[in-house]
A and B are shown apart, each in its own frame.
Chain A
Amino acid sequence: MKNLQSHSRRDFLRSSALAGGGLMLSFSWFAEAKAAEKKPTLNNVEQWNELTAYIKITPDNTVKILCPNPEFGQNVMTSLPMIVAEELDVDWKNVVVEMSTHDNVKYGAQFTGGSNSVRMYWNPLRNAGATAREMLVEAAAQSWGVPASEITTKGGILAHSSGKSAKYGEMASKASSIPIPKNVKLKSPKDFSIVRNSKKNTEGLKVVTGKPLFGMDYHVDGMLIAMIQHPPAFGMKLKSFDASQALKMPGIKDIFSFKLYDDGFEQGGFDTRTSNEMIAIVGKSTWEVMNARKKIKAQWELTGDIKETMIGRGGKREVNIPGRLETTSDQLALMADYANGRNSAKPAQQYRKDGDPETAFKNAATVIERTYNAPFLAHNCMEPMNFFAHVSEDKALVAGPLQAPGWMEPTLAKILNLPADKIEIQMTRMGGGFGRRAYGQYVYEAARISQKLKAPIKLIYTREDDMTYGIYRPMYTATYRAALDANKNLIGFHIKGGGIPENPIHANRFPAGAIDNYLAEGWEIPSNITIGAFRAPRSNFNAAAEQSFLDEVAEAMGKDPIEFRLDLLKRAKENPVGKNNEYDADRYAGVLELLKEKSGWGKPENSGKKRGVAAYFCHASYAGHVVDMVMRDGQPYVEHVTSAIDCGVVVNPDAAINMIQGAVVDGIGNSFYGALTHKNGMAEQSNFHNYRMIRHNEAPKKIDVHFVQNDIDPTGLGEPPFPPVFGAVANALYKSTGKRYYNQPFLGEKNNS
C-alpha cells in the first residue's frame, strides 16, 4: 500500500492498534472526516455527529450508517449496517444507509469477493457500533452526573434508574468529543434484536423505481460516450486501422488507438487484460458511437508468444503466454493428453499424498475411474462492463462497478502518472459481479481514454464486448479414481485435475482426511484466453466432479449416498488422515443431517422421486442440496430443491434465502447450459441468442432453504451454496435418465451422448 500518504499510514497504524488489529476506527476520527463530509441529504438535518467512521447521528435521532463495501446484489447495504445498528442499539426504523466513499485507510479493504463482506466486517462493525454506544453512554453519564455503568440503552434511547432519559441524538454532539474507549463489550448473540431478524433491502425502493444506481447510469454534463474495439480473437493484436469513414459519422469526436499498459509494466494479480492495444471510439451518444465503430477498417495480426511480468503473491515473475489461436476441440484434446500424461504433456505436480495410494490401487478388487470436463464460462453480469472517468492534469475521478477498487487504485496511479491520493474512486451499485468485476481492465481503458481527450467519458461495453473479451471461468478437467477392496471398502482415492490455464485442485478438502490412501495432483496448460474468479472459483467445478463421483462410488459400494458421506466424515472426525484438512467434519455432517431430515431423504413417500444430493465446503461454510428432477416435454427439469447451509450466524435471513435460491437457479442454469467455446481464438458465443441462460420458466417451482442454527461468527454465504448445485443436478440426472453426466454443460449438444 505504498500509495497511501505517509501521514495517513501513520494514523492508520495508530488506529489499527487501538482497535486491536481491526480497521474499525478511522484515522479521520472526527475533524478530518467532518471537513470531507458533504452536507447531509436529509431534510431538517443540520448537524451530523460522527461517532465512528461508519456512524453519524443527528440531533433529531436519525442514524446514518455507511456501508463500506461495494454492493453487487449480495445485499451488503442492508446486512453490514444491520451489524452496526445491532451493537449501537438503535431502532432500525431510524437508520438511513449510504454507500461510503472509497478510502481503504478509513474503511478497511472495501472488497466484495470471496464471500468475505460479512466475514471480514463482522468484528470491526460490531466494535464500531459498540464503541459509539459506549461513547453515548459516557456522554450521558457526564451530563447527568451518574456512573456510566448505571445507564442502559434500548432502541436509540439512553436511560437511568433516576428516570432521566435522552435520545442518542441529544447526546451525539457531546459523545463525539469523548475519548475513544478500548475493549468495548459486545452483545451476546442471544440478545440480538436486529441481526438474525430479516430486514428489507435498503435500496429496494430505488431499484423498483428505476433510480440511477448503476455505473451504466452515471452522468455528468459534457460527458462523452466511449467504446472499445478489441482484437477479434485471443492471440491477435492491432496491426493498423483506417477510421476516416467512421470519423465522418455524426456525433463522433475522436477515434484513436492506445496501449493499456506501457512496455515492461508489472501487472498485479487483478490487472488481467484481454489485449493490450485497442481502438477507442468516442462520441456524443451511444448509438452514434456504436454505428461509427462499424465503419472502422482494422487489420489485425498474430501476437505471437508474449512474455508478461506479474507481481503479486510469490513476488515478481515472468509469465509466458502462448500465441496460438485456440479452438475448443484442440483444447479438449490437449487436456486429455495432460490427463493421461502423453504426447507433449508436462508431468503433474503432487499436492498431497497420504498412505500408499499406489499399493492400494494395485491391490484393489475394483477400481472406479471417471473423467469430468467443464468449459469456460462467461460471467454475463446483466450490467455490461462500463466505467466513468474524468482525468485532468492533476487529478482523476473514476466511478463505476468494481468489486475491489483498492486493487485497481495502484495501477490507475501508475498508468495515469498521478499520486494515488489524487484519484477518487466512486463505488456505484453493480449490476452483478460474480467475480468478473474484480478485474479492472475496463477502468484502466476508461481512464486512458479520458486522459487522452481531457474530458469526462463513460466507457460502455456492448454485450458482445462483454461476452467475447471476458475474464472467464477456466476450462477444467479432472480424473477421479477410487480403489475398493473385495469387501467393497474404499481403500484409496486419487484425483488428478488440470485446466486451461489453472488447475482446480483443493488438495486438503473432503474427502481428503477420510481415506487412508489418498493422492491429489494437478497440471496446467498456459493459454492466452483470460481467466479469473467466477462465483466459488475451482469449487464450482470440483463440487460437480467430486460429488458426482462420490455418488457413483457409493452406488458401487451399495451404500446410500448421504450415509456414505456421513461415514467418511465420521472417520475424518474420529481418526483423521493427515494434518492439513481444511474442513470441520462436524459442520459438514451437520448440513447433511439437516438435508436428510428436511428433504425426507429415504422416506417411503419420496421413493418415487428422482433425487440427487450433493454437499460441499468452501469459503468456510458448508452447503448442500437435494434436487428433485422430473422430465418435462422430454427435457430434465428441476422442480423442487431442498437446501441446507451452515454459515454461522445469519445476519439477514430473508436476504440470505434469496441469495441461496439465486445460487440454486444459477447453478442449474450453468450446469445445464453454460459454455463459452472458441474457434481460432474467437469466442463462439457473443450474446444471449447463442449463450443460453436459465430463464423464468426453467427455475424450480420451490426452493426450501434451511440454516444450521449456531452462534459461530458468520462464514461465507454468497458462494458456498453454488458449487454443490452442480453435483446434485448431475446425480439427479442419473436418477432421471439412467445415465451419468460427465461433461458440462450437461444439456449441451454433443455432450454426454
Chain B
Amino acid sequence: MAKYSLKINGKTQQIDVDPSTPILWVLRDHLKMTGTKFGCGMAMCGACTIHLDGNATRSCVLPVSAIGKSAITTIEGLSETGKHPVQQAWLEHDVAQCGYCQSGQIMSASALLKSNPKPTDEDIDNAMSGNICRCGTYLRIKEAIKTAAKTSNAK
C-alpha cells in the first residue's frame, strides 16, 4: 500500500492503495465516483475514459502510481449539472440509449474539442473510434460533437 495525493476535478484527494491499482478502481471503489465506467479492463472500449491534464486517457490500465502531479478530470468534474457544451449537445441530440458508454464518449469528445475546436468528420472518426457503443449511437455522437463544436466556438 502507498499513500497518494491526487488532483481530481480541482480537488485534492488522499488515498492509500496498492501502487498497481488502476485509477479507474481508485475512482469507483475508493472515492465512490462511479461516473467513470468499467467496460473491458484493457483499454479496448473507452468506457473508462478520463482526462489526464486535458488528454483523453483510459483509466482502466493507468496505475495510480503513474499519475504523479497530473490533474484528473472525470465526467463528474466536466460539469456536475450537465452545463458543459458537450453534455448539452448530448442532451439536444438525445444520444443515449442504454447510456453506459456515454461518460467515456463524452470525455473523449470533450478532449477532442479542446485540442481541435473545429474537427472534421475524419478527425471525429479518429478520436472516437476507441469508444465502443454497443447500442450503436455513433451517428448521434458525431452530430452532437458537431453541435458542441459550434456552441463552444460561438462563446
Contacts and interface: CB of A to CB of B under 8 A. Distances in A.
Interface of A: 72-75, 200-201, 203-205, 207-214, 216-217, 219, 225, 250, 285-288, 291, 380-384, 429-434, 460, 462-464, 654-655, 658-659, 661-666, 669, 687-689, 693-703
Contacts of A697: 125-126, 128-129
B57 interface: no
B140 A209 contact: no
B-side binding surface: helix, strand, loop or mixed? Answer: loop
Sorted nearest first, the 3 A-B pairs with minimum C-beta distance are A210-B35, A665-B136, A431-B100
A204 B97 CA distance: 9
Nearest to A661: B139
A545 to B, nearest CB: 22
A288 B134 contact: no
A432 B136 contact: no
A696 B38 contact: no
Contact of B99 (A73, A433, A687): A73
Nearest to A379: B134
B142 A696 contact: yes
B133 A382 contact: yes
A433 B135 CA distance: 10
B75 A382 contact: no
A702 B143 CA distance: 11
B94 A654 contact: yes
5 contacts: A209-B75, A286-B29, A429-B98, A688-B42, A696-B129
A464 B40 CA distance: 8
B149 interface: no
A200 B44 CA distance: 30
B135 A689 contact: no
Interface string B92-112: 001111111111001000000
Contact of A429 (B45, B99, B125): B99
Given A463-B45, A687-B41, A696-B141, 7 more contacts: A205-B91, A287-B22, A382-B47, A382-B101, A663-B136, A665-B139, A666-B134
Contacts of A383: 37, 39, 98, 100
Nearest to B105: A696
Range of interface residues on B (Cβ < 8 Å)? 35 or more
A441 to B, nearest CB: 20
Contacts of A696: 124-125, 128-129, 131, 133, 138, 141-142
B17 to A, nearest CB: 8
B100 to A, nearest CB: 3
Given A661-B136, A696-B141, A209 B81 contact: yes
B87 A382 contact: no
B136 A207 contact: no
Contact of A216 (B22, B34, B133): B34
Given A693-B132, A699-B138, A688 B40 contact: yes
Interface of B: 1, 17-18, 20-22, 25, 28-30, 32-42, 44-45, 47, 74-76, 79-82, 87, 90-91, 94-103, 106, 121, 124-126, 128-142
Contact of A431 (B94, B99, B124, B129): B99
B100 A688 contact: no
A52 to B, nearest CB: 28
Given A219-B34, A689-B42, A382 B96 contact: no
A209 B80 contact: yes
A430 to B, nearest CB: 6
B139 A225 contact: no
A250 B94 contact: no
Given A250-B18, A286-B28, A216 B36 contact: no
Given A209-B82, A382-B134, A287 B29 contact: yes
Contact of B94 (A200, A212, A434, A687): A200
A662 B76 contact: no
Nearest to B104: A382
A210 B105 CA distance: 11
Nearest to B21: A287
A462 B17 CA distance: 21
Contacts of B130: 695
B44 A688 contact: yes
A699 B136 contact: yes
A203 B91 CA distance: 10
Nearest to A75: B97
Most A CB atoms within 10 A — which of B45, B124, B126? Answer: B45
A580 B102 CA distance: 45
A662 B34 contact: no
Nearest to A654: B94
B99 to A, nearest CB: 4
A205 B92 CA distance: 11
A208 B41 contact: no
A207 B102 contact: yes
Nearest to A74: B97
Contacts of B41: 462-464, 687
B147 to A, nearest CB: 13
B35 A209 contact: yes
Nearest to B92: A200
A225 B140 contact: no
Contacts of B21: 285, 287
Given A73-B99, A700-B139, A382 B34 contact: no
Contacts of A213: 99
Contacts of B20: 287, 291
A211 B106 CA distance: 14
B121 to A, nearest CB: 8
A219 B136 contact: no
A702 B139 contact: yes
